[in-house]
Amino acid sequence: MKTIVIRLLFLAFLLLASPFLQVALCQSDSEDSGFEVSDVGEDESETEQVFGLELTSAPGIETLCVFPNNRAKIIKAGTETEVLVGMKNDGQSDVDIVAVKGSLHLPFDQKPLVQNLTALSFGNASVPVSAQATFPYIFAVSKFLEAGAFDLVGTIVYEMDGKPYQSIFYNGTVEVVEDGPLFRMESVFLSGLLISLIVVLIIYIQNGLRHMTKKTKRATKAKVEVGTAAKDASLDEWLEGTAYTQSSSKSKKKK
């Protein structure tokens, strides 16, 4: 009985905890400023293969990104999402922007690619020395992608003195949700399953308590009967040979 109750309670806890964990994740994301800063120096540069080339970030380049009106970083599947990419040029040469691209990965392992996002090309965009600029990047996640948490990696590709570089302006978790009604069939099914488990658990506990109560009452009644019989027998033995037993035997003979 204890094992079944523990399993039911654990399953109910998992079903209850899942939506609250998701809400907590969104709340923690919404508490930040919405800015993601990436300042990569020459010694801390990351290498990535872009357009078949091994590219690193250029020294003196600082990037950041903003999710406008979307601090929680919630992305609706099949709907366009906008990210503003900022760049500050503290290098020695002007920067010519080539493209901005992104990709989705699994949150626990970024090696498997979930989806390649739109690569937005820029023709004549540039950032002079000691200047900064902002570039809009609009992408859309596949409408067939299952809702959940994913890692978004955003990269801006640029050139300095004719040499290509790249910088990662965002590398973090985003929440992908379905673009549909608030209450989906999946939520309704999970809610119904949770309610059913709670009802079954309550009925099981009530039946167990009733069974234990009946056993307790039977045991108490048996103890009372045995105790009364033993008390009568000991009383008769103690009064044996006295006037009380003689008068009792005479009354029985008269009857």
Q: Which residues pair with 148 in a beta bridge?
A: 176
Residue 232: CB atoms within 10 Å = 10
Domain assignment present for 229: no
CB 120 within 8 A of CB 153: no
Q: Given 3-state DSSP classes, what are the helix, strand and coil percentages for the chain, each rounded to the nearest 5?
A: 40, 35, 25
- Closest of 205, 223, 202 to residue 213, by C-alpha: 205
Domain assignment present for 126: yes
Angle at 169 between CA 159 and CA 43, to 5 degrees: 70
Domain assignment present for 2: no
In this prediction, residue 16 carries a pLDDT of 47
Average pLDDT, the chain: 74
Per-residue pLDDT tens over the stretch 170-213: 999 999 998 765 445 566 667 788 888 888 888 888 887 887 77
Per-residue pLDDT tens over the stretch 59-90: 999 999 999 989 899 999 999 999 999 999 99
Task: Please give the tally of structural domains in the chain.
Answer: 1
Give alpha helix (H) positions in the chain. 2-30, 185-239, 243-254
CB 133 within 8 A of CB 103: no
Domain assignment present for 169: yes
CATH number at residue 92: 2.60.40.10
Q: Which residues contact 95 (CB under 8 A, 6 or more apart)?
A: 58, 61, 87, 89, 126, 127, 128, 158, 159, 160
In this prediction, residue 204 carries a pLDDT of 82
Q: Which domain holds residue 99?
A: 61-178
Domain assignment present for 106: yes
Domain assignment present for 166: yes
User: How much is the pTM?
Assistant: 0.55
Give the pLDDT band of residue 41 (cuts 50, 70, 90): very low
Please state the rounded mean pLDDT for residues 2-7: 52
